[in-house]
Structure 1
Amino acid sequence: MVSIIFLSTIIIFAIALLATNESASKANNNIILGVTLPYGHLDDILVKNIVAKYKKLSRLLILIFVVISIPTLLIKNYTSFYMAYTFICIAALLYFNHKLYIKYFKELFTLKKNNNWFLGTKRIVSVDTKVSRIKNKMPVSKFYFIPSFIISFIPILMVITSKKYFNASSIFVSLIPLLLIVPFLYLYKSYSSKRSVVYSQNTEINLYCNYLHKRLWSRCWIIIASITAITNVLTVLYTLNIYSNTILFIINIALYTIVSLFLIISTHKKIREEQNTLSIASENPIYTDDDDYWEKGYYYNPNDTRVSVEKRIGYGFTFNMANKKAKLMTFIIYGLTISLVLFLSIMFIIFDTSEFKLTIDGDTAKISAPVYGYSFNINDVKEVKKIDTLPRGPRTNGASTDRYNLGNYNLNNYGKSKMYVYNENPPFIVIKLDNMYVFLNGKTKDATERYYNMLLERIK
């Protein structure tokens, strides 16, 4: 299952990146491949050739990326391998995809400069006062986020009102749906408060284009937030083993991803098509030409006080790297992301390569395991038995993969428990103590039998 999850992540990422690259190769108003061109030159044969080469190579790059991801299906049961390999593949794809985009952006920008295809005055600053007065009335009301927050509180209430699930780890897990609504609230605010754009000297066209942008994007983020809340509640219930249907869990994640991508892509497409149609039809369009600020592959405009601006290609916002706050935020985001990836990779490498071992020294039994090792007095053992099937129950903290379960659990019919088990190697030893159970086995059946006999000899 772990391999399927990681491979699915790679495929979904590839599809999202493909959609972004395809949007770059299609004219957005008079911008294509991030370069601003006069409308009359968008269909120039030289422009089309550059765009065609970019599309071909970007598709080939993504295809290669998917193919080299196949090894995630060949090596089983090692989460650290899947995680490290997936992160490396995604990082490599992002790097080479960016390099490819920069190459053809510069090629098209050079063509533009050589042919003097500029739009006259640079960076015309125009304000349509009527549009500015009513811009805050254009987005869908932020109060439509309330259902998302209400749904996200469901797992929190379940955990804090249940003795079985009330612990620090479960409380943290239950907060995740609520926390994941915040980014969509930020996106809603960013798109809704975006500076009004003047497309034409015709106020009606400006009103409609700005209304379309703010209305549809605000609606999009509200709908996705609601879907996210429902999906994450189901994910938390699965994580806590309140329901255990793995197929339903996978379908839940897959549907969420597909629907969310569809909403984002279709919203972007509808807005772009409508705005392009109106801009081209306008008798008095207003053009801006600020390609110089995007020439480095990102937005760098010391004359712009904004921290972030809408991306020229793809979806969402990007930072203005000429702004000190934006630089700091970028470094923080990249630093936290890299630190988290390294931390998780190292932890799972330790988990995957270590072995659960039982030793007895005098009256002390010690189970060696990474992070969650445990010792107990042999005289506190009430019962030792072997079972062939592991009970289910929520993990309060620890690590669970297809290969092993490690850490603290609250198991059905047992209650508070510690697990040091290899899932595909029954039987499992159950050690009953005063206030908990310990589940243990070895990497081999011989090791399990040896641990079992050691315990039986000492408690007789």
Structure 2
Amino acid sequence: MNTLFLIVPALLAYTFVLVMFLKQAKAGNNILFGVTLPAQAFNDSAIKQLQINYKKSYTIFGIISLFSLTPLFFLSDYFSMALIYLFIWFTAFIYTSKLPFKRFHHQTAVLKREKDWFVGQKRIIRIDTKVNILKNKMVLSPYWFLIPALISVSLIIASIQDENILLKMTGIASLIMTVVLFVFYYAFRKMKPKVYSEHNDINAAINQAGRRYWSILWLSMAIFESFNAIVAYTILTGGSSSDFTLWIIGIVMVSLVPLGAIFFVHNKVRSLEESLAISNGLGIITDDDEYWINGSTYYNPNDQSVMVPNRIGIGTTVNMATRAGKWIKYGGIVLAIAIILPLTAFAVQSDNTSPYLYVEENSVVKIDYPMYDFSFPISDVQEITLEESLPTGFRTNGTATAEYARGHFSLENLGDAKLYIFKNSPPYIFIKLDGLYVIFNDQDPASTKAIYDELNALKTK
């Protein structure tokens, strides 16, 4: 039941994105796959074949994407894990959904240049300046790897006197990872140059830029892993080694961030290869398609408009050549991460933390639970009852799954209530305060009865 709330939005997003991209197989306003073509081009057999292949590609993509949702059904008893998987699925789905479109956009653009299907004013984009800049890009110095190495060594030294073997392994594992990433850095730095064009300058530019991008990646990953080691060391020394929330977030970060970074750099290098290899060494003949990178990203430094009509899908998109456009795009990504990470952390913690009720010496009842701690004097209690069922209601600020409900709720005939309950483990302790009900139970009915007896005895004193 928990996963139903996750599967529904996933299916809605899946349907919307898939329909949007499948519609691109049909030309609109003389634009196919983000490429402007003259009317006669749509009768060309090569274009028709591209349209057929495009539909097949997205059909296969749709089947694979839909199948990749099935793990949510197996995580029905682990809401936080299902939520993490959903966020990962969303990120992967949105990113990969563009890849077939980009591939067919590139093939169509190549066909357009081969058959001189330019629309409107033609112009030549000179790339010799860009080639010279890329040729002179320097690979990062190997000495930068001293930063993660020193961090790892510092952790090893700090843990020498400690008996906890995990502390020692934190620094050692970090140092080993730094060495492994340095080996990758060295291998990519010395990799054999590839031939992309008959022009040596273009080959040199692509190879040199690729080496630089990969060198930045391996160094960044080494520094990232060393900072993860610092976090792990802090958790262990702080006595929180059993904190499941911290460890699961760490595992997800360590596993997914490097994979995402590798995928990003790989596609960046591929994009550079495609954009330069098609040139004649001096320039590229183009029209207004020049301003649409991969057919979907608008980049026009001559246009001061921040928002422009989208070429694919509906609505508008930002002009990435403007400062405001960059702030909107990257700011939106940062905002999404800032919302998702705390939400995921809270979900993991909710799945692995139970509310704890106890009475202090001054007869104050306290309920400990992350973000929803609550306390009240026993003298404020108007009534305490033990009930076998719960009234219906809705959540106003809290968390609720098929197994538990914690936080602020509004209940039928009771009004405002604070719930700290396991839904399928009656009985429930109803504590009536002034204008508020507090409802609590333990997963063990006997424990709930014992808590009720203790509170009732205090109330009747």
Q: TM-score, normalised by structure 2?
A: 0.59
Aligned to 2:3: 3
TM-fit CA distance, 1:344: 1.9
1:342 counterpart = 2:341: yes
Q: CA RMSD in A?
A: 2.4
TM-fit CA distance, 1:382: 4.2
> Any runs of at least 4 consecutive aligned residues in structure 1 with deviations exceeding 6 A, and if so which?
none
Aligned to 1:312: 311
2:402 is paired with a residue of what secondary structure? coil
1:121 counterpart = 2:117: no
Of stretches 37-46 and 20-29 in structure 1, the one that deviates more from structure 2 is: 37-46
Aligned to 2:420: 420
TM-fit CA distance, 1:439: 0.7
Cα 1:294–1:71 shift into 2, 3 Å: same
- Amino acid aligned to 2:345: I
Aligned to 2:292: 294
Of stretches 317-326 and 409-418 in structure 1, the one that deviates more from structure 2 is: 409-418
Could you give the per-residue CA deviations for residues 389-414 of structure 1, whole angstroms, max 9, x where no partner exists? 11234544323333222223343343
Structure 1 unpaired stretches of 5+: 124-287
TM-fit CA distance, 1:384: 2.7
Mapping of residues 224-243 of structure 1, within 5 Å = none
Cα 1:19–1:408 shift into 2, 3 Å: closer
- Amino acid aligned to 1:350: Q
Aligned to 2:196: none
TM-fit CA distance, 1:89: 1.0
Aligned to 1:47: 47
1:121 is paired with a residue of what secondary structure? coil
TM-fit CA distance, 1:329: 1.7
Cα 1:14–1:38 shift into 2, 3 Å: same
1:42 is paired with a residue of what secondary structure? helix
Cα 1:301–1:378 shift into 2, 3 Å: same
1:94 is paired with a residue of what secondary structure? helix
2:43 is paired with a residue of what secondary structure? coil
Cα 1:435–1:323 shift into 2, 3 Å: closer
1:16 counterpart = 2:16: yes
Aligned to 1:439: 439
CA contact (8 A) 1:21 1:55 kept: no
Cα 1:393–1:119 shift into 2, 3 Å: closer
TM-fit CA distance, 1:428: 0.6
TM-fit CA distance, 1:457: 4.3
Cα 1:44–1:403 shift into 2, 3 Å: same
TM-fit CA distance, 1:96: 0.9
Aligned to 1:368: 368
TM-fit CA distance, 1:48: 2.3
Structure 2 unpaired stretches of 5+: 124-285
- Amino acid aligned to 1:376: F
What is the alpha-carbon distance in structure 2 between the residues aligned to residue 400 and residue 303 of structure 1?
51
Aligned to 1:455: 455
What is the alpha-carbon distance in structure 1 between the residues aligned to residue 412 and residue 293 of structure 2?
60
What is the alpha-carbon distance in structure 2 between the residues aligned to residue 383 and residue 29 of structure 1?
70
Quote the sequence identity (%): 34
- Amino acid aligned to 1:294: W
Bigger Rg, structure 1 or 2: 2
What is the alpha-carbon distance in structure 1 between the residues aligned to residue 22 and residue 418 of structure 2?
50
Could you give the per-residue CA deviations for residues 359-398 of structure 1, whole angstroms, max 9, x where no partner exists? 2332232212111112233344444321111123454432
Aligned to 1:329: 328
TM-fit CA distance, 1:16: 0.9
Cα 1:409–1:29 shift into 2, 3 Å: closer
What is the alpha-carbon distance in structure 1 between the residues aligned to residue 450 and residue 57 of structure 2?
58
1:375 is paired with a residue of what secondary structure? strand
TM-fit CA distance, 1:435: 5.2
TM-fit CA distance, 1:38: 2.0
Number of residue equivalences: 296
What is the alpha-carbon distance in structure 1 between the residues aligned to residue 59 and residue 345 of structure 2?
33
CA contact (8 A) 1:10 1:66 kept: no
TM-fit CA distance, 1:108: 1.4
Could you give the per-residue CA deviations for residues 146-176 of structure 1, whole angstroms, max 9, x where no partner exists? xxxxxxxxxxxxxxxxxxxxxxxxxxxxxxx
CA contact (8 A) 1:77 1:401 kept: no
Of stretches 427-436 and 298-307 in structure 1, the one that deviates more from structure 2 is: 427-436
- Amino acid aligned to 1:300: Y
Ranked by relative contact order (alpha carbons within 8 Å, sequence separation 6 or more), the top structure is 1
Aligned to 2:81: 81
Aligned to 2:94: 94
CA contact (8 A) 1:3 1:82 kept: yes
Could you give the per-residue CA deviations for residues 336-361 of structure 1, whole angstroms, max 9, x where no partner exists? 22222223222222222210122233
Aligned to 1:356: 355
Cα 1:352–1:47 shift into 2, 3 Å: same
Mapping of residues 137-286 of structure 1, within 5 Å = none
Aligned to 2:192: none
TM-fit CA distance, 1:77: 5.0
What is the alpha-carbon distance in structure 1 between the residues aligned to residue 64 and residue 450 of structure 2?
48
CA contact (8 A) 1:311 1:317 kept: yes
Cα 1:434–1:20 shift into 2, 3 Å: closer
Aligned to 2:36: 36
Q: TM-score, normalised by structure 1?
A: 0.59
- Amino acid aligned to 2:62: I
